[in-house]
Amino acid sequence: MLIGEVARRSGVSARMLRHYESLGLVRPSVRTGSGYREYSAEDIRRIFHVESLRSLGLSLREVARALDDPGFRPAALVDDLVQQTRARIAEETALLTRLRRIGAADPDDWEDVLQTVALLHALGSESAGRRQRAALSSAGQDPVPVEALVEAVLHETDPNAAGALRWALARAGGQAPALLADGLASPVAEVRERAVLALAEIPGDEATGLLRSALGEAGAGPGGGSEDGYGGGSGGGPGDGYGPGDSAGAGAGAAAGAGSVVARHAALALGARGVAAAVPVLIDMVVRGTNDVDAADALSTLAGDPDVAEEIAAGFAGRLARDPLTAPERHAVAQALAGIEGAVSSRALAELARDEDRAVALTASYVLRLRGSR
């Protein structure tokens, strides 16, 4: 078969066949009387072998060795090709991600594109200081690559750079909450924590809704609870005199919540926004001494609503009646109740004023005297 016919049937150009011949990869077995190259069936099979090996990423030198060296073993070469292919895929994936982020920024001209590329490079820098500066400078950039900021927020480990990124993201607006929702669903606890911290700084109903969903890490108590996530219907234990709001679900759900860093961050943010669903987790944070000062402040803010104040006080009273709290835990409750007005709070403080621990009793008595002097 002459070279033109071989090229047509094999899909390998005549020029490439001549190159194979010059390298000694495939030599036509004979030449015609007129000097034309004529390929035998064995030659054509070798051409297909060459093309098959090239399709795996082998160089022509590696192809020649594979075909002609009887001692050649493919395992090591195949492993090397696998590593090279993975590296190439990683590079292409990184390029695709970069292009997608540039497109998401909706640039108006090439100046915008170059500005976004510079920001992406800075956000990916090994220097935490440079990442921090890039985040701060992005606040004045238009358009802002929100997707890139979210990705950076979810993976930043330096606290200063992370704070700057959250600040920039809160000012970027747009689709930031929706993108952070993916972070909340991450199987990696650190990523979920970074997502909830970023959401805590973003105003608006969408961010608030996602923060409420983050309270789901608090778990569900066996006794349930109200729609808002804290107790309200079961009343106190027999003879405790604390009234409504002391649901078993509030205490049990909060206990689970205290074990979740994500739920705690969400509760603090929601408390500052006036969302009463955070109450059980905040109560448990106070009792367990986990960010207890911040949690007590958040509860005090929520207690501006008299109905919520009664629910908060009932929650603390229920914990006192139901759980074997240590003296430091009871002391923390007495301090927190100082910021909660109402009859239920005062009854709980009266109980604590008779506490066997002197510090607890003195604190509760002092709060009651202050209330009596008003």
Residue 109 main-chain phi, psi, to 5 deg: -150, 180
HSE of 237, CA atoms in CB hemisphere, 13 A: 12
Out of 233-237, 309-313, 368-372, give the one with best mean pLDDT: 309-313
Query: Which of 55-69, 107-121, 347-361 is predicted with the least confidence, judged by mean pLDDT?
Result: 107-121
Q: Which residue has the tokens 């078969």?
A: 1
pLDDT tens digits for range 142-201:
566 788 889 999 999 999 999 999 999 998 877 899 999 999 999 999 999 999 999 999
Element (H, E) at 39: none
Q: Residues 6 or more apart from 30 whose CB is under 8 A from it?
A: 38, 40
Confidence band (pLDDT; 50, 70, 90) for 89? confident
Q: What integer pLDDT is reported at residue 283 of this predicted model? A: 95
Query: Which of 95-104, 105-114, 240-249, 345-354 is predicted with the least confidence, judged by mean pLDDT?
Result: 240-249
Whether the per-residue pLDDT at 230 is higher than 60: the answer is no
Whether the per-residue pLDDT at 371 is higher than 70: the answer is yes
Q: What integer pLDDT is reported at residue 270 of this predicted model? A: 96
Q: What integer pLDDT is reported at residue 349 of this predicted model? A: 94
pLDDT above 90 covers a percentage of the chain that reads: 46
Whether the per-residue pLDDT at 254 is higher than 50: the answer is no
Kindly report the pTM of this predicted structure. Answer: 0.64
Rg (CA), the chain: 35
pLDDT above 70 covers a percentage of the chain that reads: 82
Q: What integer pLDDT is reported at residue 143 of this predicted model? A: 60
Whether the per-residue pLDDT at 271 is higher than 90: the answer is yes
367 versus 104: the higher-pLDDT residue is: 367
Q: Say how far apart CA 114 and CA 105 lie, in whole Å.
A: 12
Average pLDDT, the chain: 82
Q: Say how far apart CA 49 and CA 170 lie, in whole Å.
A: 58
pLDDT tens digits for range 37-51:
889 988 988 898 898
Cα torsion angle, 277, 280, 281, 282, sign: positive
Whether the per-residue pLDDT at 138 is higher than 60: the answer is yes
Q: Name residue 2's beta-bridge partners.
A: 38
pLDDT tens digits for range 287-306:
999 899 999 999 999 999 99
Confidence band (pLDDT; 50, 70, 90) for 259? very low
